[in-house]
Amino acid sequence: MTQPNITHEIKRNLLGGLEVAHFMRVARERFGNTKGEALRSFLIPVLFLPLTIFTLYMYPNTELPEQAAGIMALLYCLRMVAVWVFFFGIVYWITAEVDRKTYFYKFVIASNWLSVPATVCFLPVLWMIASGAYSWAELYPFMMCLMFYTYAFTAFMASYVLRIPWELAGFIVFISMCVNNSTLDMYYWVGSLL
């Protein structure tokens, strides 16, 4: 792929992610639907991985050993891969069952690009905690509101990109939440064994 095409792909997908965050239906036309673009879209959450790991270390957790920072970062990367495998595997199965498999790559691309607006939403929280202005406990209600907002625009994306009913889109978001929470519990469990 040539440089101008990659630039166009980035602009198109970034615009699509921002339109989804504003609940704009036109966003479904922004995302590509090819295997190559879907694979390239995994670079977006990977680019945000250092910020995610930094946030993880800022969160007070007495169960994890502090001296094993490198091992914990590696475990978190493995957790991220496990989330992708389980979540996208389940979504692939669902799309096959409801005859929407042709939109699966578009869903993968949109899901990965939604990490941009989701990260932008949480940056002020991270800054307020890092600066010491607020504690995790004080910002927890605000973070919950932001999480509900990100779940809402993810369900919106699933509904419009996969062309499925809202109920099924909400179920896909519920699956995402379950996979994230289960793998995070496993991460903490394995980390506590170190």
3-state SS string for 56-73: HHHCCCCCCCCCCHHHHH
Return the pLDDT at 191. 76
Q: Give yes or no for residue 94 having a pLDDT over 90.
A: yes
For 112, the token pair is: 């990965």
pLDDT at 89: 97
Grade residue 65 by pLDDT with cuts at 50, 70 and 90. Answer: low
pLDDT of residue 3: 56
- Computed on alpha carbons and rounded to an integer, the radius of gyration of the chain in Å comes to 17
Does residue 67 carry a pLDDT above 70? Answer: no
Ranges of each domain in the chain? 3-193
Q: Which of 58-67, 155-164, 178-187 has the lowest mean pLDDT?
A: 58-67
Average pLDDT, the chain: 88
Side-chain half-sphere of 103: how many Cα atoms within 13 Å? 22
Indicate the helix (H) or strand (E) that contains 34: none
pTM: 0.88
How far, in Å, are 29, 62, 112, 121 from residue 144 at the CA level? 30, 22, 21, 12
Residues 6+ apart with CB under 8 A from 57: 69
- Confidence (pLDDT) at 160: 94
How does residue 55 score in pLDDT terms, banded at 50, 70 and 90? Answer: confident
- Statement: residue 155 has pLDDT above 60: yes
Task: Tell me the C-alpha distance between 135 and 140, whole Å.
Answer: 9
